[in-house]
């Protein structure tokens, strides 16, 4: 779009201009970050006035700023500067509403001052949100500009995890054996998930250490079951016993080594094997992305062979369906997007793709080999001439090995500001596998993912 300004000598009384704008929750978050006005009335997930309803009311000066967009872009346009602005606020706008900002020239004051009547209305019902008067210094020469490209803003909001939490809350809390929650991080995540009614924690470990962790958190343990066990290996074994005996529908890692937990889950006698390899899936909420992105396997299988990759792929598809993806799109990654006999990951990717085509992997669309760029970018896929229902829009990324997966997941977390929920699949029940560096949001989301999966595959949560 090209913008043309109107210099002072070409302006006429009665000239008008207008712009439409759809208000979004993210607009209000950006305004809060830029202005420092964190009034909860403007934040969609807060009840800012205590009436029991969460409102996302547009900040008044955000609405007023829509007037400045008309003045600066159209009339008078480029080169315009404010002298003053008067606003009268008659109504309020909400997130999701379309607004119309309009200005009309009412007076010219040489040498270059212009008085304009300003308003913002809601076209849906014709309501006036704000009215007022602006006095500006008009430009003194004609100019035109292509629509300027300004740096994009990504709101670091994890809307996909919020949606998963909303889905999981109505389910019955899933009894979850939390293994050695003997530090504030692991215990706090379990207690938070309990407050959100996602899990009913059964704390398995040293009672003294668990109590000290609760004291550090300042949270009571009244009503929370504690199964006293000394030693991490013993705690893991007891937690698995609870699952085998039908007393728990999920496992959750606390303050112990992953190997200790998985060793108990993989034991031949009273273990949790169901015939598939145990595989790990990161469910990643990346700000600005239209859907969660699943990355697998980044935590358990170091150099997976083809049979293991089959289970990795199938487990991830099953989990994606559990969290609401109807037909998940799986991009099997390699360094290239063509089969190269010298690159094993490209051969494995092609085989997995053909196996899915023949029904040996079910429930999703699988394509590979795909390089990272053409797995997630439609533009990159078009540039490479790749025609595929998966390329450019993958929901699941199957990585060549643990090194690649771990690096990808951590890059997304620390550079792209993603939150990552971690779950182990292939066992009788989902296993929540958190990192010590995970924050409360990640731990809570991991519990939500596990609860949704457990509810879909049967047992607790039904």
Digit-coded pLDDT (tens) for 164-190: 999 999 999 999 999 999 999 889 999
Residue 135 lies in a domain: yes
pLDDT at 152: 67
pLDDT at 462: 39
Find out whether 104 and 76 touch, Cβ atoms under 8 Å: no
Residue 154 lies in a domain: no
Residues 105 and 214 in one domain: no
Domain that holds residue 45: 2-146
How many other C-beta atoms can be found within 10 angstroms of the C-beta atom of residue 178? Answer: 32
Measured CA to CA in angstroms, residue 456 lies from 93, 282, 320 at distances of 40, 19, 11
Cα–Cα distance for residue pair 235/252, rounded to 1 Å: 12
Query: Based on the number of CB atoms within 10 Å of its own CB, is 63 exposed (0-12), middle (13-18) or buried (19 or more)?
Result: buried
Find out whether 198 and 165 touch, Cβ atoms under 8 Å: yes
pLDDT at 306: 97
Residues 195 and 84 in one domain: no
Residue 403 lies in a domain: yes
Give the residue from 146, 173, 195 where a domain finishes.
146
Residue 322's Cα: distance from chain center in Å? 17
Find out whether 426 and 315 touch, Cβ atoms under 8 Å: yes
| CATH code (residue 19) | 3.10.129.10
Find out whether 199 and 174 touch, Cβ atoms under 8 Å: yes
Find out whether 399 and 333 touch, Cβ atoms under 8 Å: yes
**Which parts of the chain have pLDDT scores under 70?**
152-157, 459-462
pLDDT at 461: 40
Cα–Cα distance for residue pair 101/119, rounded to 1 Å: 6
Residues 134 and 229 in one domain: no
Residue 153 lies in a domain: no
Residue 152 lies in a domain: no
Cα–Cα distance for residue pair 446/189, rounded to 1 Å: 10
Q: What angle do CA 120, 140, 148 make, to 5 degrees?
A: 60
Give the residue from 120, 146, 172 where a domain finishes.
146
Measured CA to CA in angstroms, residue 17 lies from 113, 127, 144 at distances of 18, 18, 16
Give the residue from 99, 114, 146 where a domain finishes.
146
Residues 212 and 96 in one domain: no
Residue 122 lies in a domain: yes
Residues 256 and 368 in one domain: yes
pLDDT at 154: 65
Residues 138 and 197 in one domain: no
Residues 138 and 259 in one domain: no
Residues 181 and 116 in one domain: no
Find out whether 244 and 273 touch, Cβ atoms under 8 Å: no
Query: Which pTM was predicted?
Result: 0.78
Of 385, 451, 394, 391, the closest CA to residue 421 belongs to: 451
Residues 35 and 88 in one domain: yes
Whether a cis peptide bond, with omega within 30° of 0, leads into 111 is: yes
Cα–Cα distance for residue pair 417/423, rounded to 1 Å: 19
Residues 125 and 181 in one domain: no
Residue 462 lies in a domain: no
The total of structural domains in the chain comes to: 2
Cα–Cα distance for residue pair 307/276, rounded to 1 Å: 10
| CATH code (residue 379) | 3.40.718.10
Find out whether 194 and 224 touch, Cβ atoms under 8 Å: yes
Cα–Cα distance for residue pair 364/361, rounded to 1 Å: 8
Residue 225 lies in a domain: yes
Residues 320 and 435 in one domain: yes
Residues 83 and 216 in one domain: no
């Amino acid at each position: 779009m090209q913008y043309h300004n109107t210099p002072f000598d070409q302006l006429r009384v009665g000239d008008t201009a207008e712009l439409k704008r759809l208000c979004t929750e993210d607009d209000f978050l950006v305004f809060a970050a830029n202005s420092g006005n964190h009034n909860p009335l403007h934040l969609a997930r807060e009840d800012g006035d205590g009436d029991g309803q969460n409102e996302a009311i547009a900040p008044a000066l955000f609405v007023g700023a829509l007037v400045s967009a008309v003045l600066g872009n159209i009339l008078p346009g480029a080169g315009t500067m404010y002298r003053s602005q008067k606003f009268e606020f008659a109504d309020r706008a909400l997130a999701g509403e379309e607004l119309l900002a309009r200005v009309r020239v009412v007076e010219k004051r040489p040498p270059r001052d212009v008085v304009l009547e300003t308003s913002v209305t809601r076209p849906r019902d014709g309501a006036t949100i704000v009215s007022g008067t602006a006095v500006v210094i008009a430009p003194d020469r004609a100019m035109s500009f292509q629509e300027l490209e300004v740096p994009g803003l990504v709101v670091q909001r994890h809307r996909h995890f919020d949606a998963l939490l909303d889905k999981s809350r109505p389910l019955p809390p899933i009894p979850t054996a939390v293994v050695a929650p003997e530090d504030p991080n692991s215990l706090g995540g379990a207690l938070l998930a309990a407050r959100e009614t996602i899990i009913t924690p059964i704390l398995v470990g040293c009672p003294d250490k668990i109590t000290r962790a609760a004291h550090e958190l300042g949270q009571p343990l009244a009503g929370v079951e504690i199964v006293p066990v000394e030693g991490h290996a013993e705690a893991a074994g007891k937690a698995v016993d609870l699952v085998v005996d039908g007393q728990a529908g999920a496992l959750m890692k606390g303050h112990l080594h992953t190997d200790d937990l998985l060793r108990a889950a993989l034991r031949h006698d009273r273990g949790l094997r169901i015939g598939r390899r145990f595989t790990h899936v990161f469910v990643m909420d990346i700000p600005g992305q239209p859907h969660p992105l699943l990355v697998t396997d980044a935590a358990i299988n170091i150099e997976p062979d083809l049979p293991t990759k089959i289970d990795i792929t199938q487990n991830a598809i099953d989990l994606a369906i559990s969290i609401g993806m109807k037909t998940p799109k799986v991009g099997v990654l390699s360094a290239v997007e063509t089969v190269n006999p010298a690159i094993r990951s490209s051969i494995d990717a092609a085989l997995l793709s053909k196996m899915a085509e023949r029904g040996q992997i079910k429930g999703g669309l699988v394509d590979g080999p795909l390089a990272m760029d053409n797995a997630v970018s439609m533009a990159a896929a078009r540039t490479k001439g790749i025609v595929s229902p998966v390329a450019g829009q993958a929901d699941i990324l199957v990585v060549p090995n643990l090194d690649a997966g771990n690096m990808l997941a951590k890059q997304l977390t620390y550079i792209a500001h993603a939150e990552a929920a971690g779950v182990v699949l292939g066992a009788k029940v989902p296993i929540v596998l958190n990192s010590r560096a995970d924050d409360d949001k990640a731990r809570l989301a991991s519990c939500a993912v596990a609860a949704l999966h457990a509810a879909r595959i049967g047992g607790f949560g039904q």
